[in-house]
Structure 1
Amino acid sequence: MSLPGGIRTTLAVALLLIVGGALGGAYLMVVPSLERRLVDDRVDELQRDALSTAYSYARTDFSDPLSLDAFVDATSLLSNARTIVFQVFGPSPISLRTLADSAGGAGSASDDPVALEAARTTQITRGRVERRGRPFGQVAVQLFPSGNVLLLSTPIEDQLATVRVVKRRLLYATGVALAIAAILGSAAATLHARRIRRLERAADRIAKGRFDEPVVDLGDDELGELAATFERMRVQLAQLDTARKEFVANASHELRTPLFSLAGFLELMADEDLDEETRAGFLATTREQVERLTKLAADLLDLSRMDAGRLRVEQEEVVLADAVRALVDELTPLAESTGHVLVLETDPEAWALADEERVLQIGRALAGNALAHTPPGTEIRIAAARSQGRAELTVSDDGPGIPREHAERIFDRFYRVEGPHASGSGLGLAIARELAERMGGTVELASARGRTTFTLSLPATPVVTGELAVST
Structure 2
Amino acid sequence: MKLPGGIRTTLAVALLLIVGGALGGAYLMVVPSLERRLVDDRLDELQRDGLELAGAYSTRDFSQPFALDNFVATFALVYNARTVVYQVFGPSPFMLRPLADSGVTGRSVSDDRIALETARSTQLTRGRVQRAGRPYAEIAVPLVTTGNVLLLSAPIEDQLATVRVVKRRLLYATGVALAIAAILGSTAAALHARRIRRLERAANRIAEGKFDQPVVDHGDDELGQLAAAFERMRVQLAQLDTARKEFVANASHELRTPLFSLGGFLELMSDEDLDEETRAGFLATTREQVERLTRLSADLLDLSRIDAGRFHVESEEVVLPDVARAVVDELAPLAESSGHMLSLETEPDAWALADEERVLQVGRALVANAIAHTPRGTEVVVRASAEDGRAVLSVTDNGPGIPPEHVERIFDRFYRVEGPQASGSGLGLAIARELAERMGGSVGVATRPSRTTFTLSLPAVAAVPEAVHVSS
For the residues of structure 1 that align with 2:370 and 2:126, how far apart are their CA atoms? 110
**CA deviation map 1:189-234 (0-9, x unaligned):** 2222222222222222222212222222222222222222222222
For the residues of structure 2 that align with 1:422 and 1:336, how far apart are their CA atoms? 19
**CA deviation map 1:240-281 (0-9, x unaligned):** 111111110000000001111111111122222222222222
Q: Report how far residue 3 of structure 1 moved.
A: 5.8
For the residues of structure 1 that align with 2:419 and 2:12, how far apart are their CA atoms? 67
Q: 1:33 is matched by which residue type in structure 2?
A: S
Contact 1:328 1:344 in 2 (8 A): yes
Match of 1:248 in 2: 248
Match of 1:324 in 2: 324
Name the SS of the counterpart of 1:396 in structure 2: strand
For the residues of structure 2 that align with 1:304 and 1:181, how far apart are their CA atoms? 57
Match of 2:417 in 1: 417
Q: Report how far residue 345 of structure 1 moved.
A: 2.0
Name the SS of the counterpart of 1:384 in structure 2: strand
Per the alignment, do residues 297 and 129 of structure 1 end up closer, same or farther by CA in structure 2, a change over 3 Å counting?
same
Match of 1:210 in 2: 210
Match of 1:446 in 2: 446
Q: Report how far residue 34 of structure 1 moved.
A: 1.2
Q: Report how far residue 14 of structure 1 moved.
A: 1.6
Match of 1:112 in 2: 112
Name the SS of the counterpart of 2:411 in structure 1: coil
**CA deviation map 1:304-334 (0-9, x unaligned):** 1111222233334333333333322332332
Alignment of 1:106-185 (within 5 A): 110-185=110-185
Match of 2:353 in 1: 353
Match of 2:341 in 1: 341
**CA deviation map 1:164-183 (0-9, x unaligned):** 11111111111111111111
Q: Report how far residue 4 of structure 1 moved.
A: 2.5
For the residues of structure 1 that align with 2:469 and 2:384, how far apart are their CA atoms? 19
Contact 1:216 1:228 in 2 (8 A): yes
Name the SS of the counterpart of 1:55 in structure 2: helix
Per the alignment, do residues 313 and 70 of structure 1 end up closer, same or farther by CA in structure 2, a change over 3 Å counting?
closer
Q: Report how far residue 437 of structure 1 moved.
A: 2.0
For the residues of structure 2 that align with 1:350 and 1:31, how far apart are their CA atoms? 85
Which deviates more, 243-252 or 144-153? 144-153
Per the alignment, do residues 123 and 333 of structure 1 end up closer, same or farther by CA in structure 2, a change over 3 Å counting?
closer
Contact 1:269 1:282 in 2 (8 A): yes
Match of 1:458 in 2: 458
Q: 2:380 is matched by which residue type in structure 1?
A: I
Q: TM-score, normalised by structure 2?
A: 0.93
For the residues of structure 2 that align with 1:386 and 1:153, how far apart are their CA atoms? 105
Q: 2:33 is matched by which residue type in structure 1?
A: S
Name the SS of the counterpart of 2:66 in structure 1: helix
Match of 1:289 in 2: 289
Contact 1:410 1:429 in 2 (8 A): yes
Per the alignment, do residues 222 and 469 of structure 1 end up closer, same or farther by CA in structure 2, a change over 3 Å counting?
farther
**CA deviation map 1:365-390 (0-9, x unaligned):** 11111111111121222222232333
1:99 matched to 2:99: yes
Per the alignment, do residues 45 and 289 of structure 1 end up closer, same or farther by CA in structure 2, a change over 3 Å counting?
same
Q: 2:459 is matched by which residue type in structure 1?
A: P
Q: 1:390 is matched by which residue type in structure 2?
A: R
Which deviates more, 134-143 or 235-244? 134-143
For the residues of structure 2 that align with 1:109 and 1:181, how far apart are their CA atoms? 52
Match of 2:76 in 1: 76
For the residues of structure 1 that align with 2:265 and 2:164, how far apart are their CA atoms? 107
Per the alignment, do residues 109 and 352 of structure 1 end up closer, same or farther by CA in structure 2, a change over 3 Å counting?
closer
C-alpha RMSD over aligned residues: 2.2
Contact 1:463 1:469 in 2 (8 A): no
Match of 1:22 in 2: 22
1:388 matched to 2:388: yes
Per the alignment, do residues 48 and 447 of structure 1 end up closer, same or farther by CA in structure 2, a change over 3 Å counting?
same
Contact 2:250 2:414 in 1 (8 A): yes
Contact 2:348 2:469 in 1 (8 A): no
Name the SS of the counterpart of 2:154 in structure 1: strand
Identity of aligned residues (%): 77
For the residues of structure 2 that align with 1:31 and 1:317, how far apart are their CA atoms? 81
Match of 1:379 in 2: 379
**Equivalences, count:** 467
Which deviates more, 130-139 or 342-351? 342-351
For the residues of structure 1 that align with 2:321 and 2:144, how far apart are their CA atoms? 123
For the residues of structure 2 that align with 1:438 and 1:219, how far apart are their CA atoms? 39
Name the SS of the counterpart of 1:65 in structure 2: coil
Contact 1:98 1:105 in 2 (8 A): no
Match of 1:303 in 2: 303
For the residues of structure 2 that align with 1:121 and 1:430, how far apart are their CA atoms? 101
- Structure 2 residue ranges without an equivalent (≥5): none
Q: Report how far residue 398 of structure 1 moved.
A: 0.9
Per the alignment, do residues 136 and 389 of structure 1 end up closer, same or farther by CA in structure 2, a change over 3 Å counting?
closer
Q: Report how far residue 452 of structure 1 moved.
A: 0.6
- Structure 1 residue ranges without an equivalent (≥5): none
For the residues of structure 1 that align with 2:333 and 2:412, how far apart are their CA atoms? 29
Q: 2:365 is matched by which residue type in structure 1?
A: A
For the residues of structure 2 that align with 1:97 and 1:314, how far apart are their CA atoms? 108
Q: 2:143 is matched by which residue type in structure 1?
A: L
Contact 1:50 1:141 in 2 (8 A): yes
Q: TM-score, normalised by structure 1?
A: 0.93
Name the SS of the counterpart of 1:386 in structure 2: strand
Match of 1:42 in 2: 42
For the residues of structure 2 that align with 1:49 and 1:348, how far apart are their CA atoms? 110
Which deviates more, 143-152 or 4-13? 143-152
Per the alignment, do residues 251 and 76 of structure 1 end up closer, same or farther by CA in structure 2, a change over 3 Å counting?
same
Name the SS of the counterpart of 2:153 in structure 1: strand
Q: 1:410 is matched by which residue type in structure 2?
A: I
For the residues of structure 2 that align with 1:32 and 1:76, how far apart are their CA atoms? 30
For the residues of structure 1 that align with 2:195 and 2:323, how far apart are their CA atoms? 60
**CA deviation map 1:51-81 (0-9, x unaligned):** 2222222222222222222222211211112
Which deviates more, 381-390 or 397-406? 381-390
Q: 1:326 is matched by which residue type in structure 2?
A: A
**CA deviation map 1:325-382 (0-9, x unaligned):** 3322332332232222222223333333333332222222111111111111212222
Which deviates more, 243-252 or 191-200? 191-200
